[in-house]
Amino acid sequence: MSAKTPPRWDPETVPTFWINHASRLLMRHFEQRLRPLEFGMAYLPVVLALEEHGPLLQKQLAEYAHVEQPTMAALLTRMERDGLIQRHPHPDDRRASRISLSPKARERLPEAKARLEEVADQATSGFSEKERAAFMALLRRVVANLEPASGE
């Protein structure tokens, strides 16, 4: 008896290949559009949290961005270097700093959001409103299927 050769797996036949490919292309386009404003996609969770909530602690920003403290510390160092955040002493804790958006970040944020929206519109160009809604619903289901169950 000869061993059967397993069927060749073609990644282009599964939706996950196309989700990954689309994600990489979106990130490339987002980064290209944000670079002239000295923003990066990694900065957005921090910028949006500070815009919405005002000054926050590094620990709070790490929670909003769903990253570990060392990752957030490195990100904030880069953002401070780029002039997008400011650190202020915490009034009750000498070891902590309250982080806020710089005037430069506040000034550039509306343009950054507009550029992100342009890329999102480009990505779904030709979709009807019904198709956009269905696409969003399907992507949310994919995310829900992959998110860890609470308590894990």
| 75 in Cβ contact with 46 (< 8 Å) | yes
Structure tokens at 94: 């000498």
Q: What distance in Å separates the CA atoms of residue 131 and residue 123, rounded to the nearest whole number?
A: 13
Q: How confident is the model at residue 140 (pLDDT cuts 50, 70, 90)?
A: very high
pLDDT digits (tens, 9 = 90+) for 87-107: 998 888 878 889 999 999 999
More confident residue, 68 or 150: 68
pLDDT tens profile 103-130: 999 999 999 999 999 999 999 999 999 9
Mean pLDDT of 53-70: 93
69-90 tens-digit pLDDT: 999 999 999 999 999 999 998 8
What is the average pLDDT score of the chain? 91
pTM of the predicted structure, to 2 decimals: 0.80
